[in-house]
Structure 1
Amino acid sequence: MRRAGVAVVAGMLALALAGCVGIPTAGGVNDGAIINDQDSPEFVPLPSDPIPGSSQQQILIDFMQAVSAPQGGYSVAKKYLTTEFAQTWNPDASAIIRVGGLQIDQLDARTVSYTISSRASVNELGQYQEERETSEQPLTFVFAQEKGEWRISQAADGIVLSQSAFNVAFREQALYFFDPSYAFLVPDVRWFPSRQTASNRVVTALLSGPSSWLQQAVTTAFPDATTLGEIAADASGTTVDLSTEALTSTPQDRDRMRQQLVATLGTPNVSLTVRGLELATPDATGNRAVVNPTVDSAVLVGANGTAFGLDGGTGVTPITGLSDQVVAAGATAADLSSDRQSVAFLGAGGVVFVALAGDDKATVIDDRPDLTVPAVDPFRFIWSAQRSSAASLATFDLSGDVHEIQSGLPADASIVSMDVSRDGARLLLLLTTPVGPRLIVAGIIRQDNVPIKLGEPIELPVGAEPPLDATWVDNKTVATVASDEAGALITAFEIGGPSISLGRVQGAVAIVGGNGGTDGLRVLASDGNVWRPRGSEGWVATGITATFLATKQ
Structure 2
Amino acid sequence: MRTRAIGLVAVVLALSGCVGIPTSGGVVTGGIIDDRLEPDFFVLPSGPRPGSTQEEILSDFMLALRGPQSQYAIARQFLADSIADDWNPDAEAIIRTGIPAMTPGAAENSIDYTVTSKAVVDADGRYQETPPASQTLSYSFVQEDGEWRISDAPDAIVLSQSSFNVVFTEQALYFFDPSYQYLVPDVRWFPARATVTSRIVRELLEGPASWLQQGVVLSSFPIATSVVSSEVVSGTATVELSSEALTASPADRERMQQQLAASLDVSSVIMTVGGLEIVAPETGTPAVRNPGVESAVLVGTDEGFGFDTGEGPTGLGALGAQVAAAGATAATLSNDQQTVAFLSPAGVSVARAGADQPLVVDARSGLIAPSLDPFRFVWSVQGSSAGSLKVFEVDGTEHPIATGLPVDARIVAADVSRDGTRLLVYLATSAGPQLGVAGIVRQQGTNIPTELGELLPLPAPSSTPVDATWVSDRVVATVSHGAEASPITTVEIGGPSSPLSQVSDATTIAGGNNGTDGLRVLAPDGSIWQARGSGGWVASGLTASFLASKQ
TM-score above 0.5: yes
2:277 aligns with 278
Q: Verify the 8 A CA contact 2:171 2:188 in the aligned structure 1.
A: yes
Deviation at 1:284, TM superposition (A): 2.2
Question: For the residues of structure 2 that align with 1:236 and 1:58, how far apart are their CA atoms?
Answer: 43
1:331 aligns with 328
Letter in 1 for 2:332: D
Deviation at 1:318, TM superposition (A): 4.1
Question: For the residues of structure 1 that align with 2:202 and 2:309, how far apart are their CA atoms?
Answer: 45
Deviation at 1:141, TM superposition (A): 0.6
Question: For the residues of structure 2 that align with 1:38 and 1:232, how far apart are their CA atoms?
Answer: 32
Q: Verify the 8 A CA contact 2:410 2:428 in the aligned structure 1.
A: yes
Question: For the residues of structure 1 that align with 2:268 and 2:378, how far apart are their CA atoms?
Answer: 38
Counterpart of 2:30 (choices 22, 30, 33) is: 33
Counterpart of 1:488 (choices 482, 486, 489) is: 486
Q: Spell out, residue by residue over 1:121-145, the C-alpha distance to the aligned partner (whole angstroms, 9 max, x if none).
A: 10000000002x2111111111111
Letter in 2 for 1:124: A
1:51 aligns with 49
Q: Does residue 316 of structure 2 align to residue 319 of structure 1?
A: yes
Question: For the residues of structure 1 that align with 2:330 and 2:343, how far apart are their CA atoms?
Answer: 5
- The alignment partner of 1:14 has SS state of coil
Aligned pairs for 1:257-268 within 5 A:
257-268=256-267
Counterpart of 2:299 (choices 294, 298, 301) is: 301
Structure 2 unpaired stretches of 5+: 1-13, 20-27
Counterpart of 2:16 (choices 9, 14, 17) is: 14
Runs of 4+ in 1 over 3 A off after TM superposition: 34-46
Change (3 A) 1:478 1:488: same
- The alignment partner of 1:59 has SS state of helix
Q: Verify the 8 A CA contact 1:199 1:265 in the aligned structure 2.
A: yes
Question: For the residues of structure 2 that align with 1:274 and 1:250, how far apart are their CA atoms?
Answer: 15
Q: Does residue 383 of structure 2 align to residue 387 of structure 1?
A: yes
Aligned pairs for 1:94-173 within 5 A:
94-107=92-105, 108-131=107-130, 133-173=131-171
2:414 aligns with 418
1:23 aligns with none
Counterpart of 1:175 (choices 153, 159, 173) is: 173
Deviation at 1:320, TM superposition (A): 2.6
Q: Spell out, residue by residue over 1:299-319, the C-alpha distance to the aligned partner (whole angstroms, 9 max, x if none).
A: 000113x31100123321141
Deviation at 1:537, TM superposition (A): 2.8
- The alignment partner of 2:289 has SS state of coil
Deviation at 1:38, TM superposition (A): 7.9
Q: Verify the 8 A CA contact 2:220 2:255 in the aligned structure 1.
A: yes
Question: For the residues of structure 1 that align with 2:182 and 2:139, how far apart are their CA atoms?
Answer: 47
Letter in 1 for 2:268: N
Q: Spell out, residue by residue over 1:52-110, the C-alpha distance to the aligned partner (whole angstroms, 9 max, x if none).
A: 11111110000000111110000000111111111211000010001111111122531
1:219 aligns with 218
Question: For the residues of structure 1 that align with 2:180 and 2:43, how far apart are their CA atoms?
Answer: 46
Q: Does residue 350 of structure 2 align to residue 354 of structure 1?
A: yes
Change (3 A) 1:522 1:231: same
Question: For the residues of structure 2 that align with 1:484 and 1:53, how far apart are their CA atoms?
Answer: 54
Change (3 A) 1:35 1:198: closer
Deviation at 1:343, TM superposition (A): 0.6
Deviation at 1:394, TM superposition (A): 1.1
Question: For the residues of structure 1 that align with 2:142 and 2:207, how far apart are their CA atoms?
Answer: 41
Deviation at 1:14, TM superposition (A): 2.0
Q: Spell out, residue by residue over 1:235-287, the C-alpha distance to the aligned partner (whole angstroms, 9 max, x if none).
A: 372211111111111111000000011111111111111111111111121x1
TM-score, with normalisation over the residues of structure 1? Answer: 0.92
Question: For the residues of structure 2 that align with 1:65 and 1:406, how far apart are their CA atoms?
Answer: 49
Give the number of aligned pairs.
Answer: 525
- The alignment partner of 1:321 has SS state of helix
Counterpart of 1:445 (choices 431, 441, 447) is: 441
Deviation at 1:371, TM superposition (A): 1.1
1:241 aligns with 240
Q: Verify the 8 A CA contact 1:44 1:164 in the aligned structure 2.
A: no
Q: Verify the 8 A CA contact 1:417 1:470 in the aligned structure 2.
A: yes
Deviation at 1:522, TM superposition (A): 0.6
- The alignment partner of 1:313 has SS state of coil
Q: Does residue 76 of structure 2 align to residue 78 of structure 1?
A: yes
Q: Verify the 8 A CA contact 2:487 2:502 in the aligned structure 1.
A: yes
Counterpart of 2:290 (choices 292, 313, 318) is: 292
- The alignment partner of 2:450 has SS state of strand
Letter in 2 for 1:533: A
Q: Spell out, residue by residue over 1:10-66, the C-alpha distance to the aligned partner (whole angstroms, 9 max, x if none).
A: xx942589xxxxxxxxxxxxx952868488999997411111111111100000001
**Please, which moves more after superposition, 404-413 or 471-480?**
404-413
Letter in 1 for 2:538: V
Question: For the residues of structure 2 that align with 1:113 and 1:321, how far apart are their CA atoms?
Answer: 70
Question: For the residues of structure 2 that align with 1:77 and 1:38, how far apart are their CA atoms?
Answer: 17
Over the aligned positions, Cα root-mean-square deviation in angstroms equals 1.9
Q: Verify the 8 A CA contact 1:512 1:522 in the aligned structure 2.
A: yes
Letter in 2 for 1:502: L
Question: For the residues of structure 2 that align with 1:83 and 1:150, how far apart are their CA atoms?
Answer: 12
Question: For the residues of structure 1 that align with 2:128 and 2:35, how far apart are their CA atoms?
Answer: 24
Letter in 2 for 1:483: H
Deviation at 1:233, TM superposition (A): 2.9
Question: For the residues of structure 1 that align with 2:33 and 2:257, how far apart are their CA atoms?
Answer: 47
Deviation at 1:507, TM superposition (A): 1.3
- The alignment partner of 1:202 has SS state of helix
Q: Verify the 8 A CA contact 1:115 1:136 in the aligned structure 2.
A: yes
Deviation at 1:403, TM superposition (A): 0.3
Letter in 2 for 1:406: A
Aligned pairs for 1:181-196 within 5 A:
181-196=179-194
Question: For the residues of structure 2 that align with 1:70 and 1:442, how far apart are their CA atoms?
Answer: 34
Letter in 2 for 1:62: D
2:252 aligns with 253
Aligned pairs for 1:424-443 within 5 A:
424-443=420-439
Q: Verify the 8 A CA contact 2:349 2:359 in the aligned structure 1.
A: yes
Between the aligned residues of both structures, percent identity stands at 53
Q: Verify the 8 A CA contact 1:36 1:102 in the aligned structure 2.
A: no
Structure 1 unpaired stretches of 5+: 1-11, 18-30
Letter in 2 for 1:336: L
